[in-house]
Amino acid sequence: MSNEQSDAPHWFTTAVAAPVDIGRVDVAGAEVHYRAWGPTGTPGLVLVHGGAAHSRWWDHVAPMLATGRRVVALDLTGHGDSDRRQEYGLERWAEEALAVAKPAGISGAPVLVGHSMGGMVSYVAAQLFGEDLAGVQLIDSPVLARTPEEEEARKQRAFGPKKVYPSREVALQRFRFVPPQDTAVPAVLRHVAETSMEEVDGGWSWKFDSSFFSREGSGHLGASDPRCRLAYFRAENGIVTDAMMDSMRSRFGPTAVVVEIPDAGHHVMIDQPLALVVGIRTVLASWDVEDSVAGMPG
């Protein structure tokens, strides 16, 4: 964390200073990196980042979800500190998200919480492995359509061949969100930018494999009635149109929880992290009550 973080809010500095475990799991021949908070051997969450992002986008959020729960954030292959693959696809990423749960210390069926492309991964996981999940929560995710990151890459407006910058400072100045987003908690923005780069031959570059944008599509995105509980957080100023939301609602099933987070951009954990934490906690508490009632003798 940089010296600039001296102006960061207390909740942020407390969260990023929380104890964290780091590990790796082999999934189909690739090492998948993860970070984990909270007590091991407890029910928990797996946080799934969006396209071109990584596990450290959750550093300031995960510890606030880890009271009495194990919270795990992974780097999908092709992202962050995980291995690269020859080919990428939502089904394989869904397998990775489920595969890290038990080795990282989660007891029982995990809840997947996915942002943007990570929400698509989580929805595919609900279709493939719903019986092994306690639920999925999706954050401003265009389930069915491609993510804005993929669209911009295909239009060659962003995420072309990775650039190498001569210094860390120059790279930091070039950091941008896709889709563009000006609203952010400054300390969160700095932290995410600083953890998104790595030193390479000739300078500094971003921690993702550009070829992941050519990933295979998935017919599971268009399926209805996921095989586990589902909650959806729509960002008020995000990328999901009313027509997209109507289409998704019809496929999510009648019991899905759908909530809008006020004044949030697409990257909700960047500009409205506390509201997002409250939303995730509230859904988890509701599901805990459902499970408690279901377990009571009739």
Domain boundaries, the chain: 3-294
Which pLDDT score, from 0 to 100, does residue 2 have?
A: 47
Mean pLDDT computed over 50-76: 98
User: How far lies 74's CA from each of 37, 47, 64, in Å?
Assistant: 12, 7, 17
Only one residue has tokens 């992202």, namely: 79
Residue 3 reports pLDDT greater than 50 = no
Mean pLDDT computed over 120-143: 97
Residue 158 reports pLDDT greater than 50 = no
Which pLDDT score, from 0 to 100, does residue 90 have?
A: 95
User: Rounded to an integer, what distance in angstroms lies between the CA atom of residue 21 and that of residue 42?
Assistant: 15
Q: What is the pLDDT of residues 105-122, one digit of tens each?
A: 999 999 999 999 999 999
Residue 231 reports pLDDT greater than 90 = yes
CATH fold, domain 3-294, is Rossmann fold (3.40.50)
Q: What is the pLDDT of residues 28-37, one digit of tens each?
A: 999 999 999 9
Query: Which of 117, 31, 96, 104 has its CA nearest to residue 71?
Result: 104
Angle, CA 210 vertex, CA 205 and CA 214 arms, to 5°: 170
Query: Which of 105, 140, 127, 142 has its CA nearest to residue 228?
Result: 127
Backbone angles phi and psi of 5, in degrees to 5:
-75, 5
Mean pLDDT computed over 174-193: 94
User: How far lies 12's CA from each of 21, 157, 158, 215, in Å?
Assistant: 18, 33, 30, 34
Angle, CA 174 vertex, CA 172 and CA 180 arms, to 5°: 115
DSSP per-residue codes, 210-250 = GGGGG-B--GGGG--S-SS-EEEEEEEESS--HHHHHHHHH
- Asked whether the whole model's pTM tops 0.95, one would answer no
Which pLDDT score, from 0 to 100, does residue 1 have?
A: 41
Give me the percent of the chain exceeding a pLDDT of 90: 84
Which pLDDT score, from 0 to 100, does residue 137 have?
A: 98
Residue 155 reports pLDDT greater than 60 = no
Give me the percent of the chain exceeding a pLDDT of 70: 91
| HEC profile of 74-109 | ECCCCECCCCCCCCCEHHHHHHHHHHCCCCCCECCC
Long-range residue pairs from 4-8, CB within 8 A, at least 24 positions apart, any chain: 4/190, 5/187, 5/190, 5/191, 7/186, 7/187, 8/186, 8/187
User: Rounded to an integer, what distance in angstroms lies between the CA atom of residue 264 and that of residue 279?
Assistant: 13
- Give the number of residues written for the chain: 298
